């Protein structure tokens, strides 16, 4: 059964977008996002709405756990849409290669389409990887002065008052 369509329709009135949905090992993992971030109240509302719909429609056989979360700072990349939305961001991925050892790449996503992603890897330059060869991938958040808004100089308000 297609779960994405009903889940998207449940999330929309809550101001949330579906980022990912996966049923794995007895868990229905629903990842939601919203411009500006997702708070606990939004996650609670999404969990209640999805849970009520699942109870009413019973689309999944057997027992399972519902897990509703946000993608977080370092979000998993799994679908072509995930990679396309991460163009310009730093990612790390493991590429499975048939006759060679698994390769780990890290760099900025330069472009992505339905079948492949191109990464500007620091050691290898631009590398194109087929999506079906990716073992796992995620965005990378670098902690440091460049990501801390407190380090940025604040605009002076004194000059504005005098005008």
Q: 10 and 63: one domain?
A: yes
Quick check: 92 and 117 in contact, CB under 8 A?
no
Q: 96 and 129: one domain?
A: yes
Q: 8 and 36: one domain?
A: yes
- pLDDT confidence bin for 91, thresholds 50/70/90: very high
C-alpha to C-alpha distance for 96 and 98, rounded to whole angstroms? 7
User: Which pLDDT does position 98 carry in this prediction?
Assistant: 85
pLDDT tens per residue, range 141-162: 888 775 444 434 434 344 344 4
CATH number of the domain bearing residue 58: 3.30.300.70
* Beta pairing, strands 116-121 & 125-130: antiparallel
Q: 135 and 86: one domain?
A: yes
Residue 44 has pLDDT above 90, yes or no: yes
**Which of 47, 69, 91 marks a domain boundary?**
69
pTM of structure? 0.71
Classify residue 160: in a domain, yes or no.
Answer: no
Quick check: 129 and 93 in contact, CB under 8 A?
yes
Quick check: 152 and 158 in contact, CB under 8 A?
no
Q: 107 and 127: one domain?
A: yes
Report CA Rg, the chain.
Answer: 20
Q: 25 and 55: one domain?
A: yes
Tell me which residue range forms the domain holding 128. Answer: 80-139
Domain count, the chain: 2
User: Which pLDDT does position 146 carry in this prediction?
Assistant: 59
Classify residue 133: in a domain, yes or no.
Answer: yes
Closest to 74 in 3D by CA, of 147, 162, 163, 155: 147
Residue 88 has pLDDT above 90, yes or no: yes
Residue 55 has pLDDT above 50, yes or no: yes
pLDDT tens per residue, range 99-126: 888 899 999 999 999 999 999 998 999 9
C-alpha to C-alpha distance for 113 and 130, rounded to whole angstroms? 10
Residue 10 has pLDDT above 90, yes or no: yes
User: Which pLDDT does position 97 carry in this prediction?
Assistant: 87
C-alpha to C-alpha distance for 163 and 50, rounded to whole angstroms? 54
């Amino acid at each position: 059964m297609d779960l994405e369509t009903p889940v998207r329709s449940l999330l929309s009135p809550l101001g949330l977008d579906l980022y990912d949905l996966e049923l794995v090992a007895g868990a229905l993992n629903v990842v939601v996002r919203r411009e500006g971030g997702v708070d606990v109240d939004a996650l609670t509302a999404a969990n209640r709405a999805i849970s009520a719909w699942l109870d009413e429609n019973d689309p999944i056989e057997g027992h399972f756990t519902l897990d509703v979360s946000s993608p977080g700072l370092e979000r998993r990349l799994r679908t072509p849409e995930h990679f396309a939305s991460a163009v310009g961001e730093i990612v790390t991925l493991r590429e499975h290669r048939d006759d060679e050892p698994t390769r780990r790449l890290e760099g900025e996503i330069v472009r992505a389409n339905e079948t492949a992603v191109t990464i500007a890897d620091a050691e290898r330059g631009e590398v194109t990887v087929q999506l079906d060869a990716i073992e796992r991938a995620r965005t990378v958040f670098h902690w440091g002065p460049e990501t801390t808004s407190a380090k940025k100089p604040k605009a002076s308000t004194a000059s504005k008052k005098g005008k």
